[in-house]
Amino acid sequence: QYMRFLVFRNPSFDPMARFDFDNDLAVVQSSLIGVTADAINPDIRPFIESGGKLLMHHGWGDMLVPALRTTQYYEEVIDTVGVTLSESSDSEPLDAVRDHARLFMVPGTYHCSGGPGAFWFDPLPVIEDWAENGNPPDRIEATHPSSGPNDRSFTRPLCPYPQLARYTGAPGDTVAETLAESFVCADPE
């Protein structure tokens, strides 16, 4: 459907029958969808220089877009932009980038939402507070809404990459295990 309607704009196009890698791949890459969806340039300096704040999130369980590609892209931004920014601010490249762009990986979440993780949060107040008040997000509280009798609701913090949520409550405390405040954002060990 992607090829038929968004790239070739031809409802009868059958990529299984006639996709030509020598010619059609270039069409996909140069299409409006290809140019828009393939945001792979890690040099986001013009965006940063215009005052932009980039809040990215990606589900670890995303079956459509590989989560590791998003972490790789963020690392590329750090290597490309962070080094330049850190030279003028006397900070580490990661810290320099985190003033302008943050990535939050969402455990147990599929493409955009759904899954066994805490996937629901409202990004608008987070980005507004960052852009308007200068408060970058160090943690975002997300909720897993109950979808039935065997699925309990819970909250978890989403942590800025590369940090992870670590449980600080008592082992076996079934109430504390459902509350975001029982977790801290910490660097991976």
Q: Which secondary structure element, helix H or strand E, spans residue 144, and what is its range?
A: strand 140-144
- Interatomic CA distance for residues 179 and 169, integer angstroms: 9
How much of the chain is helix, strand and coil, in % rounded to 5? 40, 20, 45
State what percent of residues in the chain have pLDDT above 90. Answer: 61
Instruction: For residue range 118-157, list pLDDT tens digits in order.
Output: 999 999 999 999 999 999 999 999 999 988 888 889 999 9
Instruction: For residue range 5-27, list pLDDT tens digits in order.
Output: 777 788 888 878 878 888 887 87
User: Mean pLDDT, to the nearest integer, of 23-46?
Assistant: 77
Please give the structure tokens belonging to residue 23: 């010619």
Q: Name the pLDDT band for 50 (thresholds 50, 70, 90).
A: very high
- Interatomic CA distance for residues 68 and 8, integer angstroms: 29
Classify 105 as helix, strand or coil: strand
